[in-house]
Structures are given as structure tokens and as C-alpha cells.
Amino acid sequence: MIAKFKFDSFFLLYLTLYISMLVGFFFNENSTGGAILDYQNQKIAAIDFANNFFLTFLNYENYNTRHSPVLIILLSFFEKFNVNDLTIRFLHLHFSLILPFLFFLILKEKFNLKKNEIFYVIVGIIFLSPTYRSLSIWPDSRLIGLIFFCISIIFYLKFVNKKKKIFCILNILFYALSAYLSPNFSVYSIFFFYKFFLFYKKDLGFLVLIILINLLLAFPAFYYIFILDVNFINKSAAVGFAKNNILFSNVFNNILLIASIFLFYLIPFIQTKIISLSKFKFDFSILLFLSIMIISIYFFDYNYLYTGGGIFFKINYFLFKNNILFFVISSISLFVVYLTCIDSKSNLLIFLCLLISTPQETIYHKYFDPLLIILIFSLLNFKVNILKISLKNHLYLYFYFTIFLFISLLKIYV
């Protein structure tokens, strides 16, 4: 009876979440704010690919988008056969349902528990992600890239658990696919290679094979961007942005904004004691942390008019029209990052990857949603007490992320 009650409860939960996705679809939900415009711009490129593939392919940088052309090329096949736009989006919505399932597989591989209902709770949060919902409804390469990135994480975790070389190679193949769909995922190859190097440093032959596979898979992208000079990556997402080079124009902005967004995702899991941070210990590294914090605050100059900045930056500016509260929050955020990395080189490497993966001037919350939730429970090393997910914590987590979804919708439609 208890097992049946749990099954019925979770069936009802996921049915409700699925229906909410359908409601969002039919009402054209756009909770990230830019999903519709991005899709419309990509659709223009998709039609051009359908009409004249090579001309569009070789002049893709003229479309003023940082999105990879790979998904757009795939969508162009629908345009070639005049498939109704509603049908394209409906099919994409249901393909996107793979992501929560992959997250479930990640949790199963990472924590190896028999109580699946604990995983169901965390996986359901994905359906409340504004980015997941918007980019499911409005096809976007970032979401499809995340799907393939999750597959690469699954094979990495299988490698960690079973130490088989085939999982290492499959990991490389799938993060390469994720990078071709969304180039920001390419930097995580640094993390994976570091991990594989530590394990295979005495197996020179296999290390050389790994390097060759990476180079071979990266060559087409390198040739397209640097040899053919179709550099679509160095484009601004901000309207009216006049700079010629928008990559790392102020890295201190990126540090504070990304740290604050990371804190936002960690707060509910720390409050419910699902995740515990390392204890503070005074040593030389604290001086480095303080230096980074002070320098970042001093040089911070993110322009609110270019939009983005993350939820804490936006709320602070909306309430006070200055950065004072944001500096307090971002300082706390950096301290949390410091505690996360103090005992883990792997965590430090993940944060460097997060920083490098978003080199542009404009930082949007959607870049990290729901990516950070997935990273928190997969690649990042935390003291995780997964059994802490009680009914009370379950309700709190859903309330927290529902409020975030509501705020995201409110800022668009009010």
C-alpha cells in the first residue's frame, strides 16, 4: 500500500509537471525573455540553410548569433519539407523530455541508491527551470547541447565506478557532440582530460589516444571558425553593444555574477542540509580569496542596460538602483565558492570551466539554468546527504524553484 501510494504520488507529480509544459507550449511561454526572439532569428537562418546551404554555411557569422549552426542545420530539413512550425516545436518539446530522464540516470550512477523516489524529487525540479521550459518550447541549441553533455556525464560516472576505457572514449564522443551543438560545453574537456590523465598517467599509449581523439573531433570546428574565418562566437547578445571584441572584456564582472548565480542554486540544498560545505580553515589561500573579492568589486562595472546579470543583480538594481547589496551577496557567494574549492581541485576546475565557458560581456542567468543543478549532483564534489530529502524538504525545494519560475514569468508579462 505504501509503495502504491508513493507510485501514485510521483505519477501525479510528473503528470502535473508534464501538463504544465503543455500549457506553457500552447500559451507560448517565454520565461527566459529571449527564447522567442532567439528562435525567430534561428528560423531565418534555418530557412536560408534550406534554400542555399553552402552560402549560408560560409557566411553564418553575418546572422549575429552565438548559437552553433548545427541545430539550425538540422531544423533546416524541416523547413525544406515545409513542416508546420507548431509541429517542429511540439516534436522538440517531447524530445526535450529526455533531459530529466538523463538527470535521473546521472543520480542513479552517482549515488547508487535503491530508493528511486528520492531521485524523482530532485529530477522534478528540472521541470520548474525557466530555461528548460522556454528552450523546450522554443528550440535552442543550448538545451540540446545540455542533453548530450548529460550523456557524457553518465559515461564519465560509469568510468569512475567501473574504470573501463570504453566509457572514457564514449564520454569524449558525447561531450564533443554537446560542444558542436553548444560551444560553451567544449571547455569541460579540460576537466575530463584532467581526470583521465590522473588515472592513466602511467598508460602513455591510451593518453596519446585520448589526445588524438580530442584533436580529431575538434578539428572541424577549428577549421570552420579559424581557417574559414566564420567566427560566430565573438558576437554580443546585448542590443546596441558596440565593442568589436566582447570576450573577457571584464573578467571581474563574470567572477561576481557567476558566483552569485551559483549561490542561488546552492541555497535550498544547504538550507535543507542535503549539501554541506567544507569547514573554514585559516591558511594562506584565504588571502588569495580576499584579494580576488576586493579586486573584483573594485573593477566591477556590469551595465544593467545590457540586461542579464542574474537574479541577485537584477533584484538589487530593481530595489536600490545601485550595486551595494549585490556586492554583499556576491562576497558571500565568493566565500561559498572558496569553501567549495578549498578541499577539492576538481571543484576549482569546474568553476574555472564555468568562467571560461561564458567569456562574453553579457552574463545571463539562463546560461546556468538548469546546468548548475545537474553539476551540483554530478561533477562537483560535495558532502551530499541524499537521504535528507523528506516530504518537508521536498515541498521547500519545489516552493523555492516555483517562486523563481514565477518571478521569471512576472518580469516578462508584467
The tens digit of pLDDT for each residue in 328-355 reads: 999 999 999 999 998 889 999 999 999 9
Cα separation, 207 vs 211, in Å, equals 6
| Three cell numbers, residue 49 | 540553410
Query: Quick count: other Cβ atoms within 10 Å of Cβ 355?
Result: 16
* pLDDT bracket for residue 158 (50, 70, 90): very high
Contact between 361 and 253 (Cβ < 8 Å): yes
Cα separation, 144 vs 132, in Å, equals 10
| % pLDDT > 70, the chain | 93
pLDDT at 249 over 80: no
pLDDT at position 413: 63
Cα separation, 147 vs 409, in Å, equals 24
pLDDT at 306 over 80: no
Cα separation, 237 vs 38, in Å, equals 10
**Polymer length of the chain:** 414
Cα separation, 211 vs 204, in Å, equals 11
Can you give the residue ranges of every domain in the chain?
1-139, 140-233, 251-376
Per-residue pLDDT tens for 58-69? 999 888 777 889
Whether pTM exceeds 0.85? yes
Nearest CA among 397, 257, 241 for reference residue 316: 257
* pLDDT bracket for residue 7 (50, 70, 90): low
pLDDT at position 72: 94
Contact between 334 and 293 (Cβ < 8 Å): yes
Contact between 302 and 317 (Cβ < 8 Å): no
Query: Quick count: other Cβ atoms within 10 Å of Cβ 219?
Result: 11
pLDDT at position 1: 45
pLDDT at position 389: 72
List Cβ neighbours of 183 (8 Å cut-off, separation of 6 or more): 66, 68, 221, 233
CA distances from 332 to 142, 226, 261, 263, 336 (A): 29, 40, 12, 8, 6
Which of the two residues, 43 and 10, has the higher pLDDT score?
43
pLDDT at 5 over 50: no
List Cβ neighbours of 10 (8 Å cut-off, separation of 6 or more): 117, 120
pLDDT at position 200: 92
pLDDT at 326 over 90: yes
Which of the two residues, 8 and 10, has the higher pLDDT score?
10
Nearest CA among 407, 405, 373, 396 for reference residue 129: 405
| Three cell numbers, residue 140 | 535552442
* pLDDT bracket for residue 227 (50, 70, 90): confident
Query: Quick count: other Cβ atoms within 10 Å of Cβ 270?
Result: 14
For the residues 287-312, what does the mean pLDDT come to? 90
Q: What is the mean pLDDT of the chain?
A: 89
For the residues 47-54, what does the mean pLDDT come to? 94
Cα separation, 301 vs 327, in Å, equals 12
pLDDT at 240 over 50: no
The crossing angle, in degrees rounded to 10, of helices 345-357 and 189-200 is 150
Regarding beta strands 383-384 and 275-276, do their DSSP bridges make them parallel or antiparallel, or are they unpaired? antiparallel
